[in-house]
Amino acid sequence: MKKLNFLIMLTLASTMMTAQNPFFKQAKTPHETFPFNELKDEYYMPAFEEGIKQHQAEINKIANNKQLPTFENTIVAMERSGALLNKVATVFFALNGAETNDEMQEIAQKVSPLLTEHSTAINLNEKLFARVKAVYDQREKLNLSVEDAKLLEDTYEGFASNGANLPADKKEIFKQISKDLSLASVQFGQNVLKETNGYSLLITDKNVLAGMPDDFMEMTASKAKEAGKDGWLLNLRSTCYGPIMTYANNRDLRRELWMAYNTQCLPNSQYDNTQLIQRIINLQLQKANLLGYETYADYALRHRMAEKPGNVYKLLNDLMEAYKPAAQKELKDVQDYASAHGAYFTIQPWDFGYYSEKLKTERFDVNDEILKPYFELENVKKGVFGLATKLYGLHFTKNEKIQVYHPEVEAFDVTDNKGKFIAVLYTDFHPREGKRSGAWMTEYKSQYKNAKGKDSRPHITIVMNFTRPTETKPALLEFDEVNTFLHEFGHALHGMLADGTYASLSGTNVYRDFVELPSQFMENFLTEKEFLDGFAVHYQTGEKIPAELIQKIIDASNFNVAYACLRQLAFGYEDMAFYTITEPFSGDVIAFEKAATAPVSLLPSIPETARSTTFSHIFSGGYAAGYYSYKWAEVLDADAFSVFKANGIYDAKTAKSFKENILMKGGSEHPMVLYKRFRGQEPTIDALLKRTGIK
């Protein structure tokens, strides 16, 4: 009897938790946004488990359907399946980047292999693949729309590229590889976050921080106070590390932070990532070989605009040839400036940013400290949102009724000129312990149309790590931070303006080397007088940014642009080197990295330092064999913006074409088809070379 009562109590407790779990009920919130106020970490695993269970049942029903396979009962049915699992995974992984904790990171370790196992089981389901293949083999006779044909092609290719055509014994190997890769990638990212969060340096002598701006001093003093210490507390986040490299007169301090930053996750660290790098690249190679590809890059690029490694290397090499002479000249200019100002040594990596900034200030009389008063965050928001209004007729209204996951986060209703609801946009601007470094856009709900054709609009978020307000000043952004805002907002527009039928083809679900076009395109406006005139006002006086200062921004926009290009190329070469190996790698990760980047590395190489061990983009962020995409997209964005420059940066017809052919289409067609529809021709590097002053 006691045992029975205990079982009843357990059942009741489970039922109560299910009833309270926000993943198991329809949200009664504006636009059915996620009810973050109801969320607890303990709700994730039950929701994941139930989501996997429901999705598997839906897949089994499709696979065992007695009717002949059709586009609707197989391809569309698969696309519509897994709603609960998609909901919980979307929320969990978005928050695991923006507001994580130890419990969530443990959940990520548990759930990632489960999700991989689940998706692999679907991809290797022979009955299901037989139905997909049957529809695919009849594709020429089905009279499908362009979007439907793309969904069918992507679905079939998704199976084929994930082992569906492998014999049974190799399918088991593929399953294990996928599971191991998932775990290794999660561990890599967690190691980077823990290493970054684990570093701090307390400065008690104010003289050590000579040269640092007042707001930096106030920010780091506040950090020290929060930690119960007197002085100025430094860390490795961008809002601290970047300013130290730029402004600190104390060379020893610059070196100390640079070394700390560039020795993260090395073998002497508690969070060593070198062995994980070996494991990840070898697993990727093994997976590619199983599927008949010589390298992982060959496998990854088959669905990219670049198509094959040779085309990536051609882009990288062409840009290196064009920019390296100018970059060498830029470095010489900085070295000459430093030498003329008492630096009787060869410029080192921790010196370049410091002397470069001083040379820029002397040459153009403009720097972040001059510009920041004109880039108060609230005004920048108005400017960026206003740009979307001018180009695409979008309007942003803060909605206090939408629940957010942190008090600093804001939520906006996005509507068009007629008041029609377009999307929800969440903004999250400042660094926190639970937020990884960098900046990104993601979503809590994607855009799609249901079976009855009703348009379900997206919920988009942009997450950044901008300078915080202090006790005496609002958040004043550096020029690069404004640029980052525009970049991520471009991704957000790609998501918000999506107008597709299928979620898997909607918004930013495009080829990796196409996805950066909308984001990098937006950066072009930051050196346009018409744009800056509209929002850049002094936070104290309300004075508009002076015309001569705007001209200085324009004049300085290409300062050290070639050096910056080579830095990006270094990441691209490094990425391709790791993922074009043809034999399992067991060598020295640091030496391998340095050899790969040597052709574009102009500064002295420092022993026992590395970037690869924190290179989350390619080891845990989905950019494996894809980091070149930033340069590829830069060619596209320069070429695209040249049309706006020719017609007027706010030209309605040009903006309408970009919106309808690029931003709204998602991955519904091949990106080159979409681009040519907007541009009228394929892109060339000419516009980029012209924009950066190389040509």
Residue 501 CB partners (closer than 8 Å, separation 6+): 147, 148, 448, 449
Catalytic, out of 369, 488, 528, 593: 488
Q: How many CB atoms lie within 10 A of CB 44?
A: 24
Element (H, E) at 689: helix 686-691
Q: Give the span between the Cα atoms of 319 and 562, in whole angstroms.
A: 9
pLDDT of amino acid 136: 97
Please give the angle made by the CA atoms of 417, 419 and 422, to the nearest 5 degrees. 90
**Cα–Cα dist 682/676, whole Å:** 6
For 550-583, what is each residue's pLDDT tens digit?
A: 999 988 989 999 999 999 999 999 999 999 999 9
pLDDT at 13: 52
**Stretch (H or E) spanning 285:** helix 274-290
- At residue 470, the pLDDT reads 87
In the chain the first and final C-alpha atoms are separated, in Å, by 87
Q: Is 488 a catalytic residue?
A: yes
- Give the pLDDT confidence of 248-294 residue by residue, as tens digits: 999 999 999 999 999 999 998 999 999 999 999 999 999 999 999 99
Say how far residue 590 (Cα) sits from the centre of its chain. 25
Token code pair at residue 572: 């691209």
User: What pLDDT score does 18 carry?
Assistant: 75
pLDDT at site 685: 87
Domains and CATH numbers, the chain: 41-165 (1.20.1050.40), 199-262 (no CATH), 372-521 (3.40.390.10)
Beta carbons of 252 and 225 less than 8 angstroms apart: no
- Give 323-368 pLDDT, tens digit per residue: 999 999 999 999 999 999 999 999 999 999 999 999 999 999 998 8
Low-confidence ranges of the chain (pLDDT < 50): 10, 12
Q: Max CA-CA distance within the chain?
A: 90
According to DSSP, residue 72 is labeled I
Q: How many CA atoms lie within 13 A of 19 on its CB side?
A: 6
User: What are the start-end ranges of the E strands in 268-387?
Assistant: none
287 membership: H or E segment, kind and range: helix 274-290
